[in-house]
Amino acid sequence: MLDAPLAVVSRVRRSAFAFPLVALAALGMLFISEASYWRATDSMDELGERAVARTALQSLHRLVLDAETGQRGYLLTGRDAYLTPYREANEEIQNTLKSLRRHFSASPEQIARLDKLEGQVQAKLSELQTSLALYDEGRQDSWRALIQTDIGREQMEAIRLLSEQLLADESARVTAGRRDIYDTLMLTRIGIGALTALSVLALFMYLRQAAVLEAQRAEQQRAIQAERDQLEHEVARRTAQLRELARHLQTAREDERTRIAREIHDSLGQALTALKLELAATQDAARSARARSRRTSCFASAMPWAACSRRATNARRC
């Protein structure tokens, strides 16, 4: 069952494209991680800037109200203390408008709305300044008539509407930025999950391959041991056969020596008996030439038997 996966792993491991593919996958994961990081960082910075812009828009409306409150207090009481918040609000309004212009500089649509908002704010500040100038000139009826014309209320309503539009745009962009961050986090999550899955898969394949290799190694060890035992049994059997053959050869050699010695003994005994009889027959005629001749022939006939006896004796010693 494991031969097919192991064959695939072995082919992939021996393939010339295996390492480049792994390196490419690692570089891809690194690129995705870095891109996600920088994308999330940019989105967070952009969200921070938009939060500042939203705060500035809200502060702009509040500052206009503060300036109008200071103007109304001065008109009603004539006390210069009410001019201090008016002047401070006027200065902060100018700084806030500059900050918003820098923030919206990349968006022509929002710049157009900011131009309208700035025009309404400047018109409101001009209306406040005009009423204060009329008050300082002692023209009571004029500044009261200016206030009662509802120009200021209409301007504040226009400022509120334009501020809400810009805030709505910023809220939409903040929502898009958050969605982008969520997408980036999801991409990072998917990348980490894929990398984790690949790591777990690689670990699983490694452990399974290691287990299979260990099983194969154990099987090879068992096969080697079985073959070794078989060889030892065969060597023992052959050794026993050789010992048996050696004993048989030794027995055959002893039997052959015994047979040869018996034959030689019998032949020699017969020859010696015949020689003894001839010697006894010729004992009385020892002096005659014929007796001497017969004795010589007897000794000559006995010499081969004596040589044969010596050979047999030497053979038995071997």
Q: What is the pLDDT of residues 244-297, one digit of tens each?
A: 888 888 888 887 888 887 878 777 777 777 777 777 777 665 556 555 565 565
Distances (CA, A) of 191 to 28, 181, 187: 10, 15, 6
First CA to last CA distance, the chain:
69
Average pLDDT over residues 146-164: 80
Nearest Cα neighbor of 187 from 3, 40, 63, 5 is 40
Sequence-distant (6+) residues with CB within 8 A of 103 are 49, 52, 53, 56
Cα 296 to its chain centre, rounded Å, is 112
pLDDT tier at 303 (50, 70, 90 boundaries)? low
pLDDT of residue 2: 45
Which tokens belong to 189? 């999550």
Q: CB neighbours (10 Å) of residue 296?
A: 10
Is the confidence at residue 238, as pLDDT, over 80? yes
pLDDT of residue 159: 82
Tell me the CATH number for domain 3-208. Answer: 1.20.120.1730
pLDDT tier at 78 (50, 70, 90 boundaries)? confident
What stretches of the chain show up as alpha helix (H) in DSSP? 3-14, 18-77, 83-103, 108-136, 140-148, 151-281, 289-317
Nearest Cα neighbor of 159 from 85, 62, 94, 70 is 62
Average pLDDT over residues 66-75: 84
User: Residues 159-164: contacts with CB within 8 Å, 24+ apart?
Assistant: 159/60, 159/61, 159/64, 159/117, 159/120, 159/121, 159/124, 160/61, 162/113, 162/116, 162/117, 162/120, 163/57, 163/58, 163/60, 163/61, 163/117
pLDDT of residue 292: 58
